[in-house]
Amino acid sequence: MTSTTAPGSVLVTIGTGKPSFDGVVAVARHEVPVALSDEAVAAIERARTVIEQLASDTVPHYGVSTGFGALANRHIPHDMRAQLQRSLVRSHAAGSGPEVEREVVRATMLLRLSTLATGHTGVRRETAQAYADLLNSGLTPVVHEYGSLGCSGDLAPLAHCALAVMGEGQVRDRDGELLDAGEALQQHGIVPVELREKEGLALINGTDGMLGMLVMAISDLRRLLVTADITAAMSVEGLMGSDDVFAADLQEIRPHPGQAASAANLRKLMADSAIRESHRDPHECTRVQDAYSLRCAPQVAGAVRDTVDHAASVAERELASAIDNPVVTRDGRVESNGNFHGAPVAYVLDFLAIATADLASISERRTDRFLDAARNHGLNPFLADDPGVDSGHMIAQYTQAAIVSELKRLANPASVDSIPSSAMQEDHVSMGWSAARKLRRSVDGLTRVLGIELLTAARGLDLRAPHAPSPAIAAVIAALREDVDGPGTDRYLAPEIEHAVQLVATGAAVTAAESVTGTLS
């Protein structure tokens, strides 16, 4: 799969090789169209030939001529096999709860299509093409929050997608209107698929939902990590901290790559700061060391970077995988396997939730220091205009603290749990879907925490006038000030927080800083 992430990209081609992170994001979020490559079509047709040969065999073959799960010991007659596949999808489309986000469903469908294109699942060409057509039409199956145990893959979410391809269930169009799937497919000229041997199983047996959410979380966290360096630099400046501790030779003594990258960013971001120069003289500034939340910023953000890189290596291997059971091998065998188990993905999803919570925690601690007159080195309590009459950013920190507390709860791993299912046939499950769902909430929470730190640090830095921050930080503050006024009497604060959050979420804060520093790591 090749693509760029730009919304105006022309096409993402689905081949037999590894999909790219950019390709997944482009299709899921920007609705870039997809197409099957000739290589993928050839691989699909080779595998289908194998399945059709087995379909006429008198020996039972799992998924082709047998029942599923605990019912795998029943041989299904030839004239019942289409019904077998339909029944599988219908019965497994058993999700409940709120609808899952559109981008998650699109990523799930794309990754299932990518697996179909490897030629290991045995589906027909028209079945794979129906997934591409559904993605390109902008129709999105309704998938619910609950229903996946992460083994055998994301069964219920994938079954809801397969149900829509059959012309059943519900979908939403690009405008969000809820439609009957059959009618919506007809309106878009898509012929509903009539499933044949093995196809129902091939459409629902994968880790695509949890993997799609992992890929998008990694994409988001990489942007947020640069933003976390920006807000940390703002806080170090605003709290009259030192950048000496970020020196390259000090980082080399402990050579974690993420730490070095974060410290390098902090050096770039704080370069030429008049505020920093104002307290560089040791005779005027008697502090020997800054608090941990300032001094150790690259150690924490760096560890998160290294965790994200580890998660990305797992995601890349999973993207290169063909998850199904049974699978069609290159030499024409059809073999049962356990590759659908979501443990590898579930573990790193949980690991990222832990790292995300800690990055948010250190951000909140820096915000809190700005508001405490005993620790903010000469600023008003709570950065209030008239303390007592005004509360300043007091309650903004409460909001941060509430989010951080929630992130700590979300850091409790889902993957340590397992509930046996399918009459003890599926007696150990990954809970990877649950891990992915809570990580999405964690990433959103971190975005909000960093937004509040940015908002608070900008106010603190403005209050240091006439001393000016570094040019890079000044550019970030200028971007914020396009929508949010500078220090003054108390105002309706929620809209200002939301503007700051959007500056973080859209990457505008990074763009502003990089207009001065160049590309940040």
**Residues 275, 244: Cα–Cα separation, whole Å:** 14
DSSP for 270-327, please give it.
HTT-HHHHHT--TTT-------HHHHTHHHHHHHHHHHHHHHHHHHHHHHT----SSE
**Residues 51, 61: Cα–Cα separation, whole Å:** 10
Burial classification of residue 207, based on how many CB atoms lie within 10 Å of its CB (0-12 exposed, 13-18 middle, 19 or more buried): buried
Tokens of 102: 């559109």
DSSP for 397-422, please give it.
HHHHHHHHHHHHHHTS-STT----BT
Which candidate, 2, 32, 206, places its Cα nearest to that of 123?
206
**Residues 64, 166: Cα–Cα separation, whole Å:** 19
Q: Which positions are catalytic?
A: 62
Classify residue 456 by its DSSP letter: H
Could you tell me how many residues make up the chain?
521
Contact 135, 107 (CB under 8 A): no
**Residues 382, 216: Cα–Cα separation, whole Å:** 36
**Residues 211, 92: Cα–Cα separation, whole Å:** 20
Compute how many other C-beta atoms are within 10 angstroms of the C-beta atom of residue 70: 12
**Residues 327, 487: Cα–Cα separation, whole Å:** 63
| φ/ψ (deg, to 5) at 2 | -130, 145
Cα dist. 402→146, 221, 371, 445, 449 in Å?
25, 20, 16, 10, 10
**Three-class secondary structure assignment of 48-62:** HHHHHHHHCCCCCCC
The kind and range of the H/E element at 360 are helix 343-371
Tokens of 59: 């020996």
Coil, helix or strand at residue 96: strand
Coil, helix or strand at residue 146: strand
Spell out the residues 6+ positions from residue 158 whose beta carbon is closer than 8 angstroms to its own: 92, 108, 112, 203, 204, 205, 206, 208, 209
